[in-house]
Structure 1
Amino acid sequence: MPAPPAFLRRGPLREGTFTSALHEPRTVVAVGRWLGVALLVCFLTGLTSHLLQGPPGWLAPHLPARPVNGYRITQGLHVISGLAAIPLVGAKLWVVYPRLFEWPPARSVLHALERLGIAVLVAAVLLELFTGLLNTLQWYPWPFPFRQTHFWLGWLATGGLLVHLAVKAPLVASVWWRRAAPALAQRRAFLAATAAAVGTVTLVTAGQSVPWLRALDLLAPRRPDIGPQGLPVNRTAAQAGTVTVPVGWRLRVDGPRPYELTLADLAELPQYELELPISCVEGWSAAARWTGVRMADLVRRAGALPGSAVRVTSLEVEGPYRVMEMPAPYVDDPLSLLALRVNGEVLDADHGFPARVIAPNRPGVLQTKWVERIEVIA
């Protein structure tokens, strides 16, 4: 390979810059296997979350309300695998970064296209992980909508990864199982250090969704047991403009036989107590005992038939989830409640007083708080 011009032989382009024996294919493949698994799990669970939050019309009637902990598990895995991918991406980029300074930069049109594809892949993965990390902190210092951007970046990163694997398949196959020398001891030490970094990141953050790791939850943005009534809160009553509930609040249920109920009326209806998790897109989840009226009972009283979906409207002044649609499988499920109490206490204002929705296998943003209206829509 011809050397770069003399005026460019500085920094990473000077001869002898990259001396580590770990900048070789076997180490790249070893780290790449771990990274590929993390990114694949992150993509599939993220796709699940996206579809549950905003399903297309044809899918909504078929969304499953069970398993009860389904969203808690998939979204927990999504954030855990995304955080684990951060040190893995750092390790992978360190191993391959000498290739960024190859000379000449492109040896042919195909080589140029390959390098362009790698640039797109790296940029998409880094941006995906960076925005996802800041989302766990609920910090959005950018002008574009997070959820839609994160969704399409996921497709771009996954597509770029599959193309990259197809191009590199012969090289990957040649070293997949080979215990290649030189630097076998160095490689083992490097992989052990990478595994330790991934394990540490996982142990000190996964407790926000994995109960038996809660004692190690040191770096996660949330502790699932801290907040009003022992539960975290993403959006407070003050932020939603619902600190003061209107005097004479009444729940309106619209259907073939519309009616209204006061809080006292709701308390006189059959009450059910059950344990359900509340699971948020930021990765934290916590189980609680909820007491309230079954959603199915409320809509049947309004004359709705089984298989009806509903639209729930909040007292919240504004927000992307002020109005929420609940597909029929959730409405009909006996575990879906209009909750009036949590952990034996009347709902705190931050948890949705006077009434909120709680249903199995749903994202927290769809467990509408401060409910004022339930409308049968199908």
Structure 2
Amino acid sequence: MSFTVCFLTGLFSHGLQDPPSWMLFLTRPVWIYQFTQGVHVTSGIASIPLLLAKLWSVYPELLKWPPVKSVLHGVERASIALFIASSLLEIFTGLINTYKWYPWPFPFRETHYWLAWVIWGSLLLHIAVKLPAIRTHWRSRPAGGEKPATTVPGRWSRRAFLGGVGAATGAVVLTTAGQSSPWLDWFNLFAPRKMGAGPQSVPVNRSAAEAKVTELAQAADWSLLVSHAGGQRTFTRADLQAMPQYEHELPIACVEGWSQSAQWRGVRIKDLVAAAGGRADADLRVTSMEPEGHYRVMTMQSAYVQDEMTLVALELNGQVLDIDHGYPARIIAPGRPGVLQTKWLKTVEIL
């Protein structure tokens, strides 16, 4: 079940980073990504003790000799070997990603995505090969469904073993889920982010210093260039402040699993597009002042552009936006992964 939940929420998260036109639930409810990504990371962490327990209980079967008895048996062994290897790599790299540590040369997002499909493919293949044995087992169970007394390696009773696994899984969930669930924040002992920590009481993943934008963001002559096929217009921060201001409570939710709701105030992106003479139903290409980085250029679909809650934010929690939160201006939109809530705005291109 944990693998299923993790797989489905992972597909949703992957899709939101570059949503196709048919994808639903982009902006509503506003906490949709906060919820699904929190569940994704939490179920992924829960999978660690569950997978290790499963391996511990079946490893004698993995060491039987000869390793391959027939073609069908070989397919079964190959499918389970692929499942184990890909699962261990998936949860190991996923856990390290929550701490923003990337000691490998391959791109995390793409590798994580395709590994999920490898896991599910190998699992379905394994189930298909074992289906006759599964049917035989269920047909031979005694009337009333009594299960024979069983033990696992180490002479634990079945009940004790399952109780220990359940307790371990509950413990890791309870002590990490608070990074995305305010109800569990008190128990958040091991997650890398904690609610209320950081500038203006909101965590940050990437500071201005890390992004190498400190001097550019503090420049007195900063302005935001908004362009389209018919022309362009620049907006200083004073120009943006002179436009109608709107305030909304929206979560900032990151792919690493942490999130927090906050009060954001600024100009509606749809008003900015209209003021520049752009089409209301257009997509946008937004560029940050960051000199490098995979997410310095972001595409925003028209569903976000037309949403009343999508802002060019100038304030956070009643204060001028901190530089680590994207001063002089940033994007904040409902139901959006944090990596796409572009900070330190430089240009907005109306496509």
TM range (shorter): over 0.9
Q: Does structure 2 conserve the Cα–Cα contact (< 8 Å) formed by 1:63 and 1:327? A: no
| The one of 304, 312, 329 aligned to 1:338 | 312
**What TM-score do you get using the length of structure 1 for normalisation?**
0.87
The residue number in structure 2 matching 1:204 is 175
Unmatched runs of 5 consecutive residues or more in structure 1? 1-36
Within 5 Å, give how 1:175-190 maps onto structure 2: 175=138, 178-183=145-150, 186-190=157-161
Matches within 5 A, 1:249-328: 249-255=222-228, 256-328=230-302
2:161 is equivalent to residue 161 of structure 1? no
In 1, distance between residues paired with 2:182 and 2:271? 33
Q: 2:17 aligns with which of 46, 53, 56?
A: 53
Deviation track 1:239-276 (CA, whole Å, cap 9, x = no partner) reads 11111123300111112342111111111110001100
8 A Cα contact 1:357 1:368, kept in partner: yes
Moved more, 250-259 or 181-190: 181-190
- Matching residue of 1:195: 166
Q: Distance in 2 between matches of 1:91 and 1:328?
A: 46
Work out which of the residue numbers 98, 115, 134 in structure 2 matches 1:136: 98
Give matches, 1:360-371, under 5 Å: 360-371=334-345
**Aligned-pair Cα RMSD in Å:** 1.6
| Residue deviations 1:158-181 (CA, integer Å, cap 9, x gap) | 111111122223444535994422
Does residue 88 in structure 1 map to residue 59 in structure 2?
no
In the TM superposition, what are the counterparts of 1:205-244 in structure 2 within 5 Å?
205-244=176-215
- What per-residue deviation string (whole Å, max 9, x for no partner) do you get for residues 64-116 of structure 1? 21110000011001001000000000110011100111111111122112111
Partner of 1:43: 7
Letter in 2 for 1:262: T
Q: Separation in 2 of the partners of 1:178 and 1:168?
A: 21
Deviation of the 1:54 alpha carbon: 2.5
The equivalent position to 2:87 in structure 1, one of 125, 128, 131, is 125
Q: Distance in 1 between matches of 2:334 and 2:317?
A: 17
AA aligned to 1:193 is: G
Cα deviation, 1:201-260, whole Å, max 9, x if unaligned, reads 100000000110000000111102111111111111001111112330011111234211
> What does 1:97-116 correspond to in 2, within 5 Å?
97-116=59-78
Take 2:240 and 2:220, find their aligned partners in 1: how far apart are those partners? 16
1:64 aligns with 2:26: yes
Does the 8 A contact of 1:273 with 1:290 survive in 2?
yes
How far is the alpha carbon of 1:352 from its aligned partner? 0.3
| Conserved? CA contact 1:207–1:217, under 8 Å | yes
> Deviation at 1:59?
4.6
For the Cα contact (< 8 Å) 2:333–2:341, is it kept in 1? yes
- Contact kept, 8 Å, 1:224 with 1:285, in 2: the verdict is yes
In the superposition, the TM-score normalised over structure 2's length comes to 0.93
Q: Higher mean Cα deviation, 112-121 or 167-176?
A: 167-176
